[in-house]
């Protein structure tokens, strides 16, 4: 086929929309990468590690093992495989967002390839599975953040199996395939939180409800004849969630002492706190929005598009202020529609302008912007997202005493730091009032980890979703709780761990 | 008089009790002093500054002027004099806490002298007033923190006048005199918040209700025939206070455009937020105390003794947890009793062990410490305060899963950083769970300043209670709000400002 100028242009614009969409979906989960350059991003080229043997154990053929594919000793592209004899399940297939964006920003890009994503360390290295890839019997997803599901459209079709997730996550995956104009090879199967389901004669999976910064997040418990592996990545222990249930403590207590390996999100293991409830963020939003002089002022709030609970809180405050809530931006539309479609939140009271090119004419038509509360994508200052476009292109002229609220944490990677600095600088030049960090995290901290360990009492733990410093802090905590060093396994991608 | 060994010992032990008492009273207001060494601490030795003249103004005799005595371009020992013709009022007489403690810790100390406190820069330099000191007609105090009232027992008697404050502050000053075995030369006069009272034919004062981290904090408005000066130091704008009224916005609106000079606490002028309400701290406390596994655990909380609202919140959570609240430490007793005596809070449901030597036998007698919630002095890790003594002397043996909560911010001065590090280290060695920063500040931030300026519209502003960086940040904000550079006066102690 000869590529015409027109077809090239079509491809180019589709690619841009795609890249931009992903960029503004980037979540708080893609944390500092300052140490990443020292890590081996291509595990294929790495000399094979001898498999660790535990003295005194049966050293016959391995019946059950954990195969780290991505996100171990690094932050991003989360994925792990669990092999039970000749059957494998893959848990999560996420992206390393900054590498993904850098790659998809390139003008030379025609089509995003899974092979290339793996090569640059933007996707989990599923090549680690080698010939075993034909044995994969299911892909299971914990939650709808891109560092856990973003690689699905590029890699899942390498495996002849279904994709299992909660309804909200399933709906997001369906929309991702749609956006990419790709089709999943297997079915997308939705399971409710706290459901247990059969994958094969040997493997069952259980979704255990937990809290995080996006709805219907679950821990995944893999039941096999040779033991249980619990994958808890990401999590927080929120006892006052503003949307959805509390963590399923009853089930965790039932499981006490029976889980052979816990794979655990330890991003904030070094923070000596319990991460505050989402209720605190809601109160902070109310405090700042109702307590600041805002009569006659334009107000824009930006937050994570996937954070449905936060978005609902913002809409509720808008009503208390007698302002009309309007959501501006593509990824907001995507997540909000998914939440509505699966019936976990109602946004029928919100106007959504979900196409980039509609934002400008929409804002132009508005006569009394001080009667609105705008929510825009682009909380990390991404130059192509709605907030930066509003500010830089003056789509909504901002002036003295107008208000921009960042209901998020800045992700401390160089590109974001630079983007936010530029955006805040421009806002200050326009004399806009800036409020930052009206936010609580979705990741548990040191004292959440302790409570989880004390409740669940897993036999072994593999900390993940952190760089060496966080993993070390977690290990120290586990020792304090009473674990022995050999019960805590800090591993890298590709370094298999034998369970039995 | 011959000093016997016994009398020396008596003096020594009284001095130690006193120093310790003050140390554990040290508040969040004594912030970073890293730049202080560059500042001129003894304004007496400074060459006289020419008084600034404003071009185009009447340069006849000065009718009304502001005389900074302490806390200008530094953090601590807050004090300012307002002179109206031949009459002077002094607003606040505070201590620079770290210098005060260093001085009173010395073994050579026999008696604390006001002269010496001034010499070492621990107290406001009232010598700046020279012969005018006989003209002082009143000392007025904003609130009960030691960096605003701590120098009263050492310096107030140099002036032949009464001391005016709200009931809570007055009660604290009375107790300070009692502790020092001194007597005020004039009367201690209590005025309700929002009262206006006559000092002389020319000077009236008005206490305007504002929020802060201790009860009955006021702005002081000085009315004179030549203009109005408003002293707002310290303040936050809390619209959901958990104890006492909101700031008196109605009065501030009435005063719009009529205040000639606003002297303003700008400690956090560079933080791009509105300081969260005390309600947020209450929710955070509930979240962590009710949401953490604490069955069978001993719990100790430490916070500022003067923070009556926070203490009430802690007692309320204790009851929700069905634990008996007990307060341990001298300064807790002092502030809590003062609050009860003036009827602003009821702590009859709390047992208070208010003498250092009673804490040990009290804790020894307790059979079921897991049924209590202990509140202890020493949130900055002060080695002689109750918390450090409990931990280091094992007055209450702490072990795995016991909990210590710091409901405060660490004051970033070297001695505190070191003290806290030692204490936390010891706690970790005992495997205690530490929760830090369960706290919101009592000082307004950038967006509170903006709201205040927009409401009050003062003609001129003197930022105070900050070092040069904070003062500069405030000036930048004021320019953004529309002030001209000459309306913002950044001054040092001793640098008089002519109002009229």
CATH code at position B452: 3.60.15.10
A326 and B315 Cβ atoms separated by less than 8 Å: no
Number of structural domains found in chain A: 2
Mean pLDDT score, A3-7: 56
Domain encompassing residue A364:
278-435
Q: Using the beta-carbon criterion (under 8 Å), do A480 and B272 form an inter-chain contact?
A: no
Q: What is the pLDDT of residue B30?
A: 41
| B420 and B471, same domain (yes or no) | no
Judgement on whether residues A128 and A198 belong to the same structural domain of the protein? yes
Residues A276, A266: Cα–Cα separation, whole Å: 16
**Looking at per-residue confidence, does A278 or B28 come out higher?**
A278
Count CB-CB contacts under 10 A for residue B53.
Answer: 9
Residue of A287, A290, A433 lying closest to B276 (CB–CB): A287
B278-291 helix and A278-291 helix, angle to the nearest 10 degrees: 170
Nearest residue, CB atoms, B437 vs list A273, A433, A451: A273
Q: Tell me if B277 and A293 make a contact (CB, 8 A cut-off).
A: no
B35 and B111 fall within a common domain? yes
Distance CA A337, CA B80 (A): 59
pLDDT digits (tens, 9 = 90+) for A350-402: 999 998 899 999 999 999 999 999 999 999 999 999 999 999 999 999 998 99
Among B412, B435, B458, which residue terminates a domain?
B435
CATH of the domain at A351: 3.40.50.10710
In this structure, the answer to whether residues A257 and A284 fall within a common structural domain is no
List residues of chain B with CB under 8 Å from any CB of chain A.
237, 239-240, 272-274, 276-277, 279-280, 283-284, 287-288, 290-293, 400-401, 424, 428, 431, 433-438, 447, 450-451, 454-455, 480-482
Average confidence (pLDDT) over A144-153: 97
What's the rounded mean pLDDT across residues A294-305? 97
pLDDT digits (tens, 9 = 90+) for B226-272: 999 999 999 999 999 999 999 999 999 999 999 999 999 999 999 99
What is the reported pLDDT for A374?
A: 98
- pLDDT tens column, A344-364: 999 999 999 998 899 999 999
Entry field: residues in chain A: 500
Q: Which of B274, B424, B438 sits opposite A435 (nearest CB)?
A: B274
The answer to whether residue B402 is domain-embedded is yes
Residue at A366 is within a domain: yes
- Rounded to two decimals, the ipTM of the complex is 0.81
User: Confidence band (pLDDT; 50, 70, 90) for B158?
Assistant: very high
Of B274, B293, B450, the CB nearest to A451: B293
Q: Does residue B1 form part of some domain?
A: no
Contact A293 B436 (CB under 8 A): no
Write out the two tokens for B392. 């280091």
Asked if A290 and B482 come within 8 Å (Cβ–Cβ), the reply is no
Q: Which of chain A's residues have a Cβ under 8 Å away from the Cβ of B291?
A: 237-240, 274, 277
Among B419, B435, B451, where does a domain finish?
B435
Mutant choice from A271, A281, A283 vs B, greatest count of B C-beta within 10 A: A283
CA A78 to chain centre: 9
- List the single residue in A283, A284, A293 with the smallest CB-CB distance to B454: A293
Spatial contact of A455 and A252, defined as CB atoms under 8 Å apart: yes
Two tokens at A97? Answer: 């967002």
pLDDT value at A40 more than 50:
no
Give backbone dihedrals phi and psi of B334, rounded to 5 degrees, phi first: -60, -50
Smallest Cα distance from A130 to chain B, Å: 44
Residue A400 has φ and ψ, to the nearest 5°, of: -45, 135
In a domain, A252, yes or no: yes
Are both B250 and B336 inside the same structural domain? no
B412 or A301, higher pLDDT: A301
Judge: A287–B239 Cβ closer than 8 Å, yes or no: yes
Contacts of residue A273 in chain B, CB cutoff 8 Å? Answer: 288, 435-438
Domain boundary (B435, B454, B480) is at: B435
Residue B463, token pair as written in the block: 């930022």
The residues on A that touch B, with CB distances below 8 Å, are 237-240, 272-274, 276-277, 279-280, 283-284, 287-288, 290-293, 400-401, 424, 428, 431, 433-438, 447, 450-451, 454-455, 480-482
Distance (Å, rounded) from C-alpha B248 to C-alpha A73? 54
Mean pLDDT of chain B: 90
For residues B413 and A439, the model is more confident at: A439
**For the residues B310-334, what does the mean pLDDT come to?**
97
Q: B287 contacts in A (CB within 8 Å)?
A: 239-240, 274, 276-277, 279-280
Question: Do B283 and A280 make contact, defined as CB atoms within 8 angstroms?
Answer: yes
Q: DSSP letter string over B68-124?
A: EEE-TTSSSS-EEEEEETTEEEEE-----HHHHHHHHH-TT-SS--HHHHHHTTSS-
Q: What is the pLDDT of residues A214-240, one digit of tens each?
A: 999 999 999 999 999 999 999 999 999
Decide if B2 is inside a domain: no
Q: Are A428 and B279 within 8 A, CB to CB? A: no
Rounded to whole angstroms, the Cα distance separating A20 from A232 reads: 29
Residue B35's pLDDT is what? Answer: 36
Residue A407 inside a domain? The answer is: yes
Phi-psi region of B194 (alpha: psi -120 to 50; beta: other; left: phi over 0): left
Q: Are A127 and A208 within one domain?
A: yes
pLDDT in tens, A101-129: 888 887 777 788 999 999 999 999 999 99
Write out the two tokens for A51. 């498999």
Inter-chain touch B480–A431, beta carbons under 8 Å: yes
A452 and A336 share one domain = no
B254 and B319, same domain (yes or no): no
Looking at the structure, tell me whether residues A328 and A394 fall in a common domain. yes
* Residues B265 and B300 placed together within one structural domain of the fold: no
Distance between CA atoms of residues B231 and B227, nearest Å: 13
Per-chain mean pLDDT for chain A: 90
Same domain, B149 and B260: yes
In a domain, B4, yes or no: no
Query: Cβ separation of A447 and B433 shorter than 8 Å?
Result: yes
pLDDT tens figures, B45-98: 444 454 554 544 557 899 999 999 999 989 999 999 999 999 999 999 999 998
Output the pLDDT for position B44.
Answer: 43
* Residue at A35 is within a domain: yes
**Whether B363 and B466 share a structural domain:** no
């Amino acid at each position: 086929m000869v590529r015409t100028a027109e077809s090239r242009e079509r491809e180019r614009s589709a690619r841009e929309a795609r890249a931009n969409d992903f960029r503004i979906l980037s979540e708080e989960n893609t944390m500092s990468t300052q140490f990443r350059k020292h890590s081996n991003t291509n595990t294929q080229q790495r000399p094979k590690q001898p498999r660790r043997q535990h003295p005194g154990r049966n050293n016959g053929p391995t019946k059950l093992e954990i195969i780290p594919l991505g996100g171990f000793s690094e932050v991003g592209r989360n994925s792990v495989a669990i092999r039970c004899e000749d059957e494998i399940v893959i848990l999560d297939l996420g992206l390393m967002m900054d590498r993904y964006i850098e790659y998809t920003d390139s003008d030379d890009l025609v089509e995003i390839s899974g092979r290339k994503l793996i090569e640059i360390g933007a996707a989990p290295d599923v090549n680690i599975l080698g010939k075993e890839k034909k044995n994969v019997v299911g892909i299971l997803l914990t939650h709808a953040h891109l560092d856990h599901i973003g690689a699905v459209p590029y890699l899942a079709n390498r495996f002849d199996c279904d994709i299992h997730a909660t309804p909200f996550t399933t709906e997001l995956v369906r929309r991702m395939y749609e956006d990419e104009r790709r089709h999943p090879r297997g079915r997308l199967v939705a399971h409710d939180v706290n459901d247990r389901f059969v994958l094969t004669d040997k493997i069952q999976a259980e979704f255990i409800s937990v809290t995080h910064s996006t709805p219907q997040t679950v821990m995944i418990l893999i039941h096999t004849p040779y033991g249980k592996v619990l994958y808890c990545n990401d999590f927080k222990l929120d006892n006052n969630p503003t949307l959805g249930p509390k963590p399923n403590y009853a089930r965790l207590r039932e499981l006490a002492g029976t889980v052979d390996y816990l794979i655990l999100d330890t991003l904030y293991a070094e923070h000596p706190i319990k991460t505050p409830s989402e209720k605190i963020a809601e109160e902070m939003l109310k405090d700042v929005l109702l307590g600041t002089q805002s009569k006659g002022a334009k107000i824009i709030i930006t937050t994570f598009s996937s954070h449905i609970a936060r978005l609902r809180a913002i809409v509720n405050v808008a009503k208390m202020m007698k302002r009309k809530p309007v959501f501006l931006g593509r990824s907001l539309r995507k997540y909000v529609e998914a939440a509505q479609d699966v019936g976990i939140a109602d946004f029928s009271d919100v106007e959504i302008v979900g196409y980039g090119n509609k934002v400008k004419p929409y804002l132009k038509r508005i006569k009394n912007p001080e009667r609105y509360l705008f929510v825009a994508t682009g909380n990390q200052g991404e130059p192509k997202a709605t907030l930066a476009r509003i500010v830089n292109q003056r789509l909504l002229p901002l002036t003295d005493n107008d208000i921009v609220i960042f209901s998020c944490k800045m992700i401390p990677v160089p590109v974001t730091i630079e983007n936010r600095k530029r955006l805040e600088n421009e806002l200050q030049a326009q004399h806009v009032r800036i409020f930052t960090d009206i936010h609580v995290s979705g990741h548990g901290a040191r004292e959440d980890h302790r409570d989880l360990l004390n409740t669940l009492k897993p036999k072994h733990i593999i900390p993940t979703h952190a760089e060496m410093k966080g993993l070390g802090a977690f290990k120290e905590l586990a020792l304090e709780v009473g674990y022995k060093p050999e019960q805590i396994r800090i591993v890298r991608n590709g370094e298999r761990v034998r369970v039995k």
